[in-house]
Amino acid sequence: MIEIDANNTLLSIRDLVVEYSSAGEVIHAVNGVSLELEKGRSLGLVGETGAGKTTIAKSILRILPSPQGRVKGGEILFCGEDILQRPESRMLEIRGEKISMIFQDPMTALNPTMTVGEQVAEVVRLHSDAGGADAQKVALRMLKRVGIMADRYHDYPYQLSGGMKQRVVIAMALVFKPELLLADEPTTALDVTIQAQILEVIRRYKNKFGTSMILITHDLGIVAENCDTVAVIYAGRIVEAGTRDDVFDKPAHPYTVGLFQSLPGYSKGQKRLRPIMGLPPDPRQAPAGCSFRPRCPRAKEGCGEADIPERVLSPTHSCRCLYPEVH
Amino acid sequence: MPDVIEVRNLKKYFDVSGGVLCAVDGVSFKVEKGTTIGIVGESGCGKSTLGRTIIHLEESTDGQIFFNGQDVTRLKSRELRRYREKVQFVFQDPYSSLNPRMTIEETIQEPLRMSRRYDKARLGQAVAELMERTGIEERLAQSYPHELDGGRRQRVSIARALALNPEFLVCDEPVSALDVSIQAQILNLLMDIQEESALTMMFITHDLSVVEHISNTIAVMYLGQLVETGSTQELFAHPLHPYTKALLSAVPSIAIHSPSRRIILKGELTSPINMGPGCRFRSRCRHAGPECEGDQRLEEVRPGYFVACCKVSGPK
């Protein structure tokens, strides 16, 4: 385990295991994930579809689909409090006030039959003593902060573009200055110029209020520009973690290396890309040994036997590989 | 090399409640045989409509389309059918563009069967060859689309598009729904196919790193019009139009030690309904002035390099 300053830790996840059951089958979504996040910092959680990124975020907020999704083990310490052990009444306080989440598709978070201003005001009323007019005032101020002017207060979601809707969702998520923001692919559905605007809004807010963030994305460029630390997740396991510079300058796990090499533009002038061969494993079959082994160019004997232990590469950098890339 | 496709002043308008939507509004460009043109722009800029209009999935409102020098703007029945064999389309979403009730073999076979150029025995052989060429395992022939992952489904779409040996392939965001590792496989496949058969391609995407990798020339579209077009290298090295500059600067970069200067645009793409005269980008442009109220034409500022902005002029 990498050494961290315990006093400054906001979130600490230890050995989290999450399963879904569907039609009699068990899907192993998260297989023993440990993560640390310090106050005021941003962690980029990177991985491909189905790697378990969103499941981790939903576990933190305890909003896994019930009864299919279950946390089978581990702990999630938020400010030292194991939120997996707390009653739902406590979670109602934590959600929105201490921890908020932004989803990829803003429409999953917006009510189509309510004006956007009222939706923000509703959040204010639910979580504070502010009444009608006061809540409206807070909502207006918050909307303005994310770049939505007062004349849009009475608009319905359908009257706003995707970027504007995402701004409303951000306003709702940040109105109580949460300590932790879970941003799950917040700009994936948006065009790049709008993406730049939204990331700028989040960045400015974070800097002002010292909010911590877990940014879930498949886009390494977004991580490079917005995160202090990075965790690369594959088949429900963190295969590499470190500071941004550790992972970008010295990617150690063959999967991380493969992700970079797959990017057009990683090695300029090279005509053929270097994709990762094959596909991620079937999450229904609990993999023995390294789950990346079938696709790994470096796999050798021993990779398929036992779980791969964490290997500390530097005080801030670790990976789960027997034969990591040496820099 | 001769031009396989040329469009001149192509327009596609739609009647909508509230007026006329100018999805494609006077677009001209040429694509040389065996090369790829990348069409870049944000959602709603008309890039997909442009592709669909060129291959006659939409009837153009005005302007001309030439295929190998022949005017194909107003084709009917049999000629149209022949043209459509030569130009094919790969869609973004292989989940919705494949028939869920057809096996992979039937899907790839269908265009061959419709062409009536193959007897039964040769049909099977042709399908097997197409599957091999696009890297689809033989054992998947009897599978249905839902049993395949996104990457393989896109391979099936590509195999089907290639069935009749097209000369021009329009790919509309073919890798946008795929994870990067799979995306790289599909991009390699498309480039291999192009090399083998001197295929001419039009690659429509919002992903600038993908388009830089795969295209020879690039056309940047904004609200139905081209604002800048030229060789990929030049355009990425020295973009001239303020919109292109902002677009390129907005792409998050993995180069952590050389952060680029970001231009954050104000506002968003408006809808191209009842467009008035003048530069369509001017409401978001920080260089906009009174001279931008007039219509902007694509001017050749360097040999073979065109920009539609009155603030950019003369050879540079």
Give the per-residue pLDDT at A104.
Answer: 86
Alpha helices in B65-207 (DSSP H): 77-86, 94-97, 104-115, 120-133, 150-162, 180-197
The CATH classification number of B3-270 equals: 3.40.50.300
Give residue B208's pLDDT: 92
Residue B172: C-alpha distances to residues B92, B154, B226, B231 (Å):
6, 12, 17, 20
Alpha-carbon span B189 to A271, nearest angstrom: 12
Which chain B residues contact residue A197 at CB under 8 A? 264-265
Phi/psi of residue A310, nearest 5 degrees? -70, 140
Task: Report CB contact under 8 Å: B259, A225.
Answer: yes
Alpha-carbon distance of B108 to B126, in angstroms, equals 9
* Helical axes A88-97 vs A53-61, angle rounded to 10°: 120
Residue A125: which of A172, A90, A61 has the closest Cα?
A172
B252·A273 Cβ contact <8 A: no
Q: Which positions in chain A touch B42 (Cβ < 8 Å)?
A: 191-194
First to last CA, chain A: 21
The pLDDT of residue A209 is 92
8 Å CB contact between B28 and B10: yes
Query: Residue B316's pLDDT is what?
Result: 43
3-state secondary structure (DSSP) of residue B245: helix
Closest residue by Cα to residue A119 from A193, A178, A173, A78 = A173
| B-chain residues near A192 (CB < 8 A) | 42, 206, 208, 247, 250-251
Q: What pLDDT score does A2 carry? A: 54
What phi and psi values does residue A200 have, to the nearest 5 degrees? -65, -40
What confidence score (pLDDT) does residue B5 get? 96
Q: How far is B10 from chain A (nearest CA, A)?
A: 25
Cross-chain CB nearest to B179 (options A48, A222, A248): A48
Contacts of B269 in chain A (CB under 8 A): 191
CA distance A221 to chain B (A): 4
Question: Strand B87-90 and strand B168-172: pairing?
Answer: parallel
Question: pLDDT per position in chain B (316 positions), as tens?
Answer: 899 999 999 999 999 988 899 999 999 999 999 999 999 998 889 999 999 999 999 999 999 999 999 999 998 888 998 999 999 999 887 778 899 999 999 999 999 998 888 888 899 999 999 999 999 999 999 999 999 988 999 999 999 999 999 999 999 999 988 888 889 999 999 999 999 999 999 999 988 999 999 999 999 999 999 999 999 999 999 999 999 999 999 999 898 888 778 888 888 877 788 888 899 999 899 999 999 998 888 999 999 999 999 988 654 4
Q: What is the pLDDT of residues A253-275, one digit of tens each?
A: 999 999 999 998 887 767 788 99
Q: What ipTM does the predicted assembly reach?
A: 0.84
All residues of chain B having their beta carbon less than 8 Å from the beta carbon of residue A199 are: 252
Q: What does the domain layout of chain A look like in residue ranges? A: 6-107+178-319
Cβ–Cβ below 8 Å for B256 and A266: no
For residue B64, the distance in angstroms to the closest alpha carbon of chain A comes to 30
Q: Judge contact between A242 and A307, C-beta under 8 A.
A: no
The span from the CA of B159 to the CA of B105, in Å, is: 10
The CATH number of A6-107+178-319, from 3.40.50.300, 3.30.930.10, 3.30.1340.30, 3.20.20.70, is 3.40.50.300
Indicate left, alpha or beta for A74 from its phi (over 0: left) and psi (-120 to 50: alpha).
left
Q: Are strands A42-46 and A212-217 parallel, antiparallel or unpaired?
A: parallel
Residues of chain A with pLDDT under 70: 1-6, 269, 286-287
> Dihedral of CA B88/B92/B94/B100: which sign?
negative
Find tokens 């790829």 and name the residue.
Answer: B36
CA B104 to chain CA centroid, nearest Å: 25
Which residues in chain A have their CB less than 8 angstroms from residue B185's CB?
275, 277
Distance from CA of B107 to the nearest CA of A (A): 23
State the residue for tokens 């409640």: B17
Burial of B17 (0-12, 13-18, 19+ CB in 10 A): exposed
Q: Which residue has the tokens 């054992």?
A: B139
- Whether A249 and B256 lie within 8 Å, measured CB to CB: yes
Counting one residue from A and one from B, how many pairs have CB atoms under 8 Å apart?
A: 102
Strand, coil or helix: B48: helix
In the numeric block, which tokens belong to residue B241?
């139009």
Q: Which of A48, A259, A272 sits opposite B188 (nearest CB)?
A: A272
DSSP SS3 for B74: coil
pTM confidence score: 0.89
Beta bridge partner(s), residue B273: B21
Give me B56's structure tokens.
């006659």
3-state secondary structure of A118: helix
Tokens of A9: 């830790």
CB contact at 8 A, A13 and A75: yes
Q: Which residue has the tokens 């494993």?
A: A281
Which helix (H) or strand (E) element contains residue A123?
Answer: helix A116-127
**Cβ-based neighbours of A251, under 8 Å, separated by 6 or more:** A240, A257, A259, A260, A325
Torsion of Cα atoms, A11 then A17 then A22 then A23, to 10°: -170
